[in-house]
Chains A and B, each alone.
Chain A
Amino acid sequence: EDQVTQSPEALRLQEGESSSLNCSYTVSGLRGLFWYRQDPGKGPEFLFTLYSAGEEKEKERLKATLTKKESFLHITAPKPEDSATYLCAVRVNSGSARQLTFGSGTQLTVLP
């Protein structure tokens, strides 16, 4: 069974305090790993897609990396507006639908 585990469940940082969020996965036939940001009461906002081990992508203060077993979302010098829940999802080649399986998310709070 495909599994996606995110840690920690919650993370509180001071503004400017860099850290990393983890997403470990056990799937067969990985077809992509996705990072989303979700604000309360809103739908997920797409951040990154990673397809192969060693791949890295950056966007402003965020950097996502991928290995064969896990992905990290690094947050450099975070600001209060980075506070949100960060979701990791994997796409597996299930039939033709290529569905996403989500982790439970990491709730990030950045204090001013």
Chain B
Amino acid sequence: GAVVSQHPSWVICKSGTSVKIECRSLDFQATTMFWYRQFPKQSLMLMATSNEGSKATYEQGVEKDKFLINHASLTLSTLTVTSAHPEDSSFYICSARDTMGGTYEQYFGPGTRLTVT
């Protein structure tokens, strides 16, 4: 149980294009999902908190117009990197909180490796 998937697992795109990453909770409902980015040999940095049916909450320094988050259902959140640049290349990881189960544990997806050329 408590499986979170991400799609795609890796993507290469050209500078200036947009890329969408999906995060799904497969066997539980998640009113809250979180998006992190991780640079090589560094820890996870929270980018934003995604709430089903409402606007995402972004961490300080994260451009909300560049990183568009949509949490359209209790099992799906998407992160769109708009007008991507090489410095956006990173490992993006989502997590989902099992709010219905009452444990409030966070379960992480396998991550998406984004490379912008």
Q: A residues bordering B, Cβ < 8 Å?
A: 34, 36, 41-46, 49, 87, 97-105, 107
Beyond A41-B113, A102-B43, A105-B43, whether A97 also contacts B108 by CB under 8 A is no
Among A44, A49, A107, which residue has its beta carbon within 8 angstroms of that of B44? A44
- On whether the beta carbons of B104 and A98 are closer than 8 Å, the reply is yes
The answer for the CA separation of A36 and B36 in the assembled complex, in Å, is 15
The answer for the CA separation of A45 and B3 in the assembled complex, in Å, is 10
The answer for the CA separation of A87 and B38 in the assembled complex, in Å, is 13
| Contacts beyond the supplied A43-B109, A100-B95: 16 A-B pairs with Cβ under 8 Å | A41-B111, A42-B110, A43-B4, A43-B93, A43-B108, A44-B108, A46-B2, A46-B106, A46-B107, A87-B43, A97-B49, A97-B57, A100-B46, A102-B43, A104-B43, A105-B43
- On whether the beta carbons of A100 and B109 are closer than 8 Å, the reply is no
Q: Contacts of A101 on B, CB cut-off 8 Å?
A: 46
B10 closest partner in A (C-beta):
A41
Any A CB within 8 A of the CB of B34: yes
Q: Kindly name the residue among B42, B46, B108 whose own CB sees the greatest number of chain A CB atoms within 10 A.
A: B108
The answer for the CA separation of A87 and B93 in the assembled complex, in Å, is 14
CB distance from B47 to the nearest CB of A (A): 11
Any A CB within 8 A of the CB of B32: yes
